[in-house]
Amino acid sequence: MVDGARADPAVEAWREREAPQADRVHLRILEALARRAANHEGAVRRVLDERLAQLVAAHRRRLDQPQPPHDEPRPPADGVPPARSMLAELVADLGERSAARMPSAASPEPTSIGAAVELETLPFFRRTWSRLSADQRLAQSQAALPQNAGPLNSHHLVHRSLTLMRELSPGYFDRFVAHVDALLSLQQGSS
């Protein structure tokens, strides 16, 4: 059994060896337990001394084992590699895909042309989809108009405003409808 008085010199010796950061944490735990054991007597002291002895022995075993350098991953104790998380698999997959897209020294042309075509077509399809969505919303507004709506009916005023906006500034109309659609989807998501 190691008592608080005998544990302190061992802990002091380990601290003087300038242990790595992880070992310093263990040393602080050992010091705190030794101080706590020194403040007690009887059965509590015996329990704390036994726990301290276990921790000191475990720390000695850890110091006796050869440690791999900090930049190398430590092998698992049971020999089975740990399962990768979903995030780690996603990052690895994205890394492989980006490496496959990087132009090699032998053929820089096909990859860069493919990427350029992809980047040129994406905005075209976004604009087309946005325009079709805006036209669909205007048609929905037309269908929602009451038959005998007066000139100050709110549905009639909104539809007339959207129609004028589309005629005067089609780009602004497309962006406005996209913004309203986003707000509506946020409202439906929070409800």
Q: Tell me, what's the pLDDT at 116?
A: 57
How far, in Å, are 36, 126, 140 from residue 186 at the CA level?
A: 56, 20, 20
Question: Could you list the pLDDT tens digit for every one of the 191 residues in the chain?
Answer: 444 444 456 666 666 665 555 567 777 888 888 888 889 899 989 998 898 888 888 877 777 776 655 555 566 666 666 677 778 888 888 888 777 766 555 544 545 555 555 677 788 887 888 788 888 888 888 888 888 877 788 888 888 888 899 899 988 888 888 888 888 888 887 76
Apex CA 97: angle with CA 92 and CA 101, to 5°?
A: 145
Decide if 141 contacts 162 (C-beta within 8 A). yes
